[in-house]
Amino acid sequence: MDDGNYIRIVVAPSIRILNSTITTGGTTRAYYNFYLPILEQGGNPRLSQSVTLQGTQVKVQTTGDVNRIKIVVGFPKEGFGFDEGFFGFDRTEEEVVVPDDSILEFYTSEVIVSLGLQG
């Protein structure tokens, strides 16, 4: 992109929730799996017009004794117009009610976002 033209690239994480009910030995238990990418800024070597997402690790944390989970989305670059309207979000807050005796698993992964990495 040496001609002076440019394009604005925005990368938004995708948070996923998987809810399943498993019965073993006559006991039924609800499982909630949350997949949460944590975006980190990578390099910008300008080798090509590409976006590279590289996951470096996955951490798992399991917990119980939780009756609700509240997810709130923030916009660190809202002043530049990157807000819920730009991303097309219906809402910026979600609350998940968790039944008693449920198992919650949180999978977090650091994802490095690089521009023009592949050449």
- Name the more confident of 33 and 52: 33
User: Is 64 inside any structural domain?
Assistant: yes
pLDDT value, residue 26: 92
Sign of CA dihedral 21, 66, 25, 60: positive
Q: Which of 3-12, 16-25, 63-72, 99-108 has the lowest average pLDDT?
A: 3-12
Residue listed under structure tokens 């917990």: 63
Name the domain count of the chain.
1
User: Is 119 inside any structural domain?
Assistant: no
Strand 103-115 to strand 27-41: parallel, antiparallel, or no bridges (unpaired)?
A: parallel
User: Is 21 inside any structural domain?
Assistant: yes
DSSP character for 36? Answer: E
Find the domain containing 77 and state its range: 16-38+58-108
Could you tell me if 32 and 104 are in contact, meaning their C-beta atoms sit under 8 angstroms apart? yes
User: Is 70 inside any structural domain?
Assistant: yes
**82-92 mean pLDDT:** 85
User: Is 114 inside any structural domain?
Assistant: no
Residue 62, φ and ψ in degrees, nearest 5: -110, 140
User: Is 5 inside any structural domain?
Assistant: no
pLDDT value, residue 119: 53
pLDDT value, residue 48: 73
